[in-house]
Chain A
């Protein structure tokens, strides 16, 4: 039995996940918490946010995020693949910055207009 704090929302439910009973989750208050509990022990993932260089805009950096969660162990590699990428304004929210982050098929997208 593992104890976890759910990070799906700010509520932070205290979850218990039973590895011996097919990762049965208790302590959650929504279905997303159940999924998180199971995933966190079998295949933990995170959405990664960072920035990239941008020229011609109001700021020298544009914020980005992975459009979906990627495996936790790829976080550092994912952030590094942004080095050297340079956008040119105008940038629109949702514009693809890196099409496939570390072979996950998940893209990095811009999170603001610049």
Chain B
């Protein structure tokens, strides 16, 4: 019997698990995929929003501003790439100018620190590649960028190191209310828990309806992106938004913490988890982004991707008990990444109010450090390699990721089960050659460390097999 069982290990589930692992509780997280951070969390704009967008008084507004402050502290403690670069919302017309002023007022009402309206020239002084058409801009110094999947992973790892059980490839198939709590049926057996937290993202409605009558609808909304080579990474120094519209915050142009440039998203309704990209969607993103920053060189694109946001018909985060002991953390669309730790804090408070005793552990592990070879000084690199030779073998040449870092990840609290799992942990394959060079080497390391045949290694999700068969006879012969 678990005290709390969390369904879904995206940023919301991971933050909740991390928060609850501070207390003397038995906590489990069930994740359908073979890794954490496998849904919306791995495919979004990677922005920690300042908090001027949500309507004052909404949960989104409160949890965004609080979450942004918590994220800064968490990223520092857990060694998650984070850069407080600030954001600009650009205006191109009188109507936009009005919107920028409205956003500024909302920001002030929401308690966002330091927001102010700049002239077009002031904005161009801050970011010289902005369009000459920019008439004014909202400056929000507290916006930041981070690595969402590393953030999620850090939170989940912290939960695991503090005793939470993470069950991967464990999809929930049914929920049943029992006297003491909930029976949770999965593809890998049954679990019992006093409390169930629904952090199932795009599938939150489905999970909710296993436990309670329908109270909301999830309308999955897809956003498509370009990721550009590091040589475009300095094109802008801040997160560059356009004025938000009915379907979201619009197309942004931003540096990433890994040194690339991210451009996107568009927004469009999709069925379920459809993360395909389309020619039209990418064309729209390209055209719209050039309006903000005309000099972006899209020939330097290294990857396109799409993510699906779990927007709901309620227009705000849905954080409430849907049934006794069943707490929804649903409708977590933007600014969900930013709000996650505040959502977790809020959820813990709701559980406490419902009678769950939250006693702090004495030995809670709240620090995390990783070796990033590329960022070390020459002297530190030399010392590290002398001590641990595996850090001297560069596996991913584009991102300078070493065998030592990959082995460290493979022996970490949540070992990666796929090539992309390694990529999300250490960055191998994230660069301009997109794993063309390091892919086979990562497969070899994964197979060796996991004690399986290279033929059993997947690219990403279970089922995304890489190698069909061995050549030239033998057990796996074609």
Binding site for B on A (CB under 8 A): 51-53, 61, 82-85
Contact = CB atoms under 8 A, between A and B. Distances in A.
B378 interface: no
Contacts of A85: 472
Q: Which 9 A-B pairs have the closest CB atoms?
A: A83-B473, A84-B473, A53-B472, A83-B472, A52-B472, A82-B472, A51-B472, A51-B471, A61-B472
Contacts of B477: 83
Contacts of B474: 53
A13 B174 CA distance: 69
Nearest to A83: B473
Contacts of B471: 51, 61
A95 to B, nearest CB: 17
Contacts of B473: 53, 83-84
B127 to A, nearest CB: 50
Contacts of B472: 51-53, 61, 82-85
B471, B472, B473, B477 — most chain A CB neighbours (10 Å)? B472
Interface residues of B, number: 5
A112 to B, nearest CB: 16
B394 to A, nearest CB: 19
Contacts, number: 15
A106 to B, nearest CB: 20
Interface string B412-433: 0000000000000000000000
B131 to A, nearest CB: 49
Nearest to A84: B473
A82 B477 CA distance: 13
Interface string B458-478: 000000000000011110010
15 contacts: A51-B471, A51-B472, A52-B472, A53-B472, A53-B473, A53-B474, A61-B471, A61-B472, A82-B472, A83-B472, A83-B473, A83-B477, A84-B472, A84-B473, A85-B472
A17 to B, nearest CB: 36
B469 to A, nearest CB: 12
Interface in B60-95: none
Contacts of A83: 472-473, 477
B467 to A, nearest CB: 13
B474 to A, nearest CB: 7
A52 B472 CA distance: 6
Nearest to A85: B472
A53 B470 CA distance: 10
Given A53-B473, A61-B471, A83-B477, 12 more contacts: A51-B471, A51-B472, A52-B472, A53-B472, A53-B474, A61-B472, A82-B472, A83-B472, A83-B473, A84-B472, A84-B473, A85-B472
A83 B474 CA distance: 8
A110 to B, nearest CB: 14
A75 to B, nearest CB: 16
A18 to B, nearest CB: 42
A9 B328 CA distance: 69
Contacts of A51: 471-472
A53 B477 CA distance: 12
A55 to B, nearest CB: 11
A58 B14 CA distance: 43
Nearest to A82: B472
B99 to A, nearest CB: 62
